[in-house]
Amino acid sequence: MSKEKLIPRHIAIIMDGNGRWARMRGKERSEGHIAGMDALRETVRNVAQAGVKYLTVYAFSTENWGRPQAEVDALMELICKGVEMESAELVKVGIKVKTIGDRSRFSDKVKASLEKIEQLTQAGENMTFALALNYSSRSEITTAVRNLAERVAQGEIKAEDIDESMISSALYTSFMPDPDLIIRTSGECRLSNFLMWQASYSEFYFTPTLWPDFDKEELERALEVYSTRDRRYGLVK
């Protein structure tokens, strides 16, 4: 009897290796990000077609502000261009775009772009696509703890009422289940401040492929490996 393939409900991706991809071709790092955007466009469609309901990508970390200004500017430009070029197609294929992270540090232009794409795609029912922007797990958890502490101080909740589900609800990711599968490209095997709370029981898939080269075949390989994993959540079979 053939066993039905297990499809993750939520995939999260650390898209790494754009800079190395560019350097190997004698190009500017920003060109690596442009190629990375092409890979992202394809991956969003491929992941949705595979039947996955949530996709989260690490697009800009709180640490990325420390990169050369020209590179930060190029990434900001890519966000705005991406919104301009992809919105109509995302609406057509029923993909709802959300952002996670602290948007306050972005320029008014970037903020307006993000608000626009969230608003235009809000009725999408096939897949939710979350862009982690100015995101880091530690700052997310710090913000959540501060919010809960304020609610305790206001007398809205009691300290002893705080449980795991209340903490999950106070995170940027409250509208999504935890990721089943976390993929990182470029051969690095670390989480880099991404979804640390949410990754408690995630499966990890690391590939040496640089992000701009991550294609449908690569995704299929990751899904194949995932379907062979035995998820026990600390229990015994």
Q: Look-up: residue for tokens 């992270």?
A: 101
Count of residues that interact with ligand FPP, criterion CB under 6 A? 19
117: contact with ligand FPP by CB under 6 A: no
- How many of the other CB atoms lie within 10 Å of CB of 193? 16
Q: Which of these segments, 71-79, 137-145, 156-164, 166-174, binds ligand FPP (CB under 6 A)?
A: 71-79
Sketch the per residue contact string, 28 through 67, with ligand FPP: x for CB under 6 A, - otherwise: -----x--xx--x------------------xx---x---
**58/48 Cα distance (integer angstroms):** 17
Q: Which of 10, 11, 16, 106 binds ligand FPP (CB under 6 A)?
A: 16
- Taking alpha carbons only, the member of 219, 229, 204, 177 closest to residue 43 is 219
15: contact with ligand FPP by CB under 6 A: yes
**Could you say which of 38, 46, 64, 163 is catalytic?**
64
Residue 23 vs 231, nearer CB to ligand FPP: 23
- Taking alpha carbons only, the member of 85, 86, 89, 64 closest to residue 76 is 64
129: contact with ligand FPP by CB under 6 A: no
Provide the minimum distance between the beta carbon of 27 and ligand FPP in the complex, in angstroms, as a whole number.
Answer: 12
Provide the minimum distance between the beta carbon of 170 and ligand FPP in the complex, in angstroms, as a whole number.
Answer: 26
Contact 188, 18 (CB under 8 A): no
The 54-61 sheet, strands edge to edge: 95-100, 127-135, 54-61, 10-14, 181-184, 203-206
Residue 100 vs 170, nearer CB to ligand FPP: 100
- Measured distance between the N- and C-terminal CA atoms of the chain, rounded to whole angstroms: 21
Residue 106 vs 144, nearer CB to ligand FPP: 106
Provide the minimum distance between the beta carbon of 67 and ligand FPP in the complex, in angstroms, as a whole number.
Answer: 8
- Taking alpha carbons only, the member of 163, 192, 196, 193 closest to residue 179 is 196
Buried-state track 106-125, b at ≥16 Cβ within 10 A, e below 16: beeebeebbeebeebbeebe
Q: Which of 55, 75, 176, 181 binds ligand FPP (CB under 6 A)?
A: 75
64 is catalytic: yes
Contact 211, 183 (CB under 8 A): no
18 is catalytic: no
Contact 73, 28 (CB under 8 A): no
Which residue is closest to ligand FPP by CB?
19
Contacts to ligand FPP by CB under 6 A: 15-20, 33, 36-37, 40, 59-60, 64, 75, 78-79, 82, 186, 211
